Amino acid sequence: MNRIVSLLPSSTEIVTSLGLGDQLVGRSHECDYPLGVNSLPILTAPKFDTNRSSEEIDNSVIDLLKDGLSVYKINEELLQELNPDFVITQSLCDICAVSLQDVENAICKLTSSNPQLISLEPNVLADIYGDIIKVGAALGVSEKAEQVVNEIKYRLDSIRLRVAATQNRPLVAMVEWLSPIMLGGNWIPELVELAGGESLLAETGEHSHYFDWSVIPDADPDIIVVMPCGFGIDRSMNEMHLLTKKPGWKRLKAVKNNQVYVADGNHFFNRPGPRVADSAEILSEIFHPNLFPAQHRGTGYIKF
């Protein structure tokens, strides 16, 4: 049996979706789904206070990166003790998880094992499928990986087909960070499009980046979905004042029409794994409530 260390919430979910959850021996501090993984040893920790405000977190991260430092630390002694056969990490974003270079350095120091490093880099939906296939191939369950990918595609195709005939395609602002304002990129615009919306100022495959607040009232979106990276609904609700106090907030079309939503960015939109299908379903329910039952309302999102 393999011994697997997963340093990403999404890769932990990929491994468990492949039926290999019992082979996980270590995780990142953010891996919390499915529930059984909570008992696994934690190998990473942030170098900043995650309980601080959005702006303070952003400033802390920028300062660390400016000084050439990693945003997260990895417990090299524990990694040695766990003696893994595989370590799964990512090279997409040094802010999202421990950096690839830090993981590589930690693995080089191991004396008890020589684990295979699996690095994921999802930018669009096709990359997410590819990462699942990559993990499945490395762990010897290629057929199961194909099955998982086909199930995701089936759910997404079902949404795409149902919205194909609708003439209503709302302009949507997907807010990935509250202060400063960041709109979701990478696979997020793709999810918006297939769910029957039009993504505001963000392109599929492009990294998320900051915007001046003025672009929001200038574009006047029909719908605003707030889904900050790493934040659940409650945490986001506690910081919604960062938006509501912005100039022109009350004049926005989405606000006047009661079309502002807070979604669980941490568990859905910011995790490029099997639950990307749930993320699309959440958006389809928000954009087209006449076409989709509110299966995720109250857990995946709420109306603000």
Which of 78-87, 106-115, 176-185, 267-276 is predicted least confidently?
A: 106-115
- Contact between 225 and 175 under an 8 Å Cβ cutoff? The reply is yes
92 pLDDT more than 80: no
Query: What is the DSSP pairing of strand 24-27 with strand 171-177?
Result: unpaired
4-121 and 167-303 have identical folds: yes
CATH superfamily to which 4-121 belongs: Nitrogenase molybdenum iron protein domain (3.40.50.1980)
Task: Output the pLDDT for position 206.
Answer: 84
71 pLDDT more than 70: no
Q: What is the rounded (10 degree) CA torsion for 82, 86, 89, 91? A: 140
Cβ-count burial of 235 within 10 angstroms (0-12 exposed, 13-18 middle, 19+ buried)?
A: middle
97 pLDDT more than 70: no
190 pLDDT more than 60: yes
Cβ neighbours around 223 below 10 Å, total: 22
* Closest of 171, 168, 150 to residue 222, by C-alpha: 171
> Which residues partner with 87 through β-bridges?
5, 117
Cβ neighbours around 224 below 10 Å, total: 23
Which of 90-104, 124-138, 181-195, 258-272 is predicted least confidently?
A: 90-104
Task: Output the pLDDT for position 222.
Answer: 98
Task: Output the pLDDT for position 284.
Answer: 98
Cis before 84? omega within 30: no
- Please identify which residue in the block is written with the tokens 């990929």: 14
Please report, as a single letter, which amino acid is at residue 155. R
Task: Output the pLDDT for position 208.
Answer: 81
102 backbone φψ class: left, alpha, beta (φ>0; ψ -120 to 50): alpha
* Closest of 62, 52, 30 to residue 43, by C-alpha: 30
Cβ-count burial of 89 within 10 angstroms (0-12 exposed, 13-18 middle, 19+ buried)?
A: buried
Mean pLDDT of 149-154: 98
Higher pLDDT, 280 or 69: 280
Domain ranges in the chain?
4-121, 167-303
Task: Output the pLDDT for position 117.
Answer: 87
Enter the tokens of residue 79. Answer: 């990694």
Cβ-count burial of 238 within 10 angstroms (0-12 exposed, 13-18 middle, 19+ buried)?
A: exposed
72 pLDDT more than 80: no
Residues composing the chain: 304
CATH 3.40.50.1980 at 167-303, yes or no: yes
Phi, psi dihedrals of residue 224, rounded to the nearest 5°: -120, 125
Task: Output the pLDDT for position 45.
Answer: 81
- Contact between 175 and 164 under an 8 Å Cβ cutoff? The reply is no
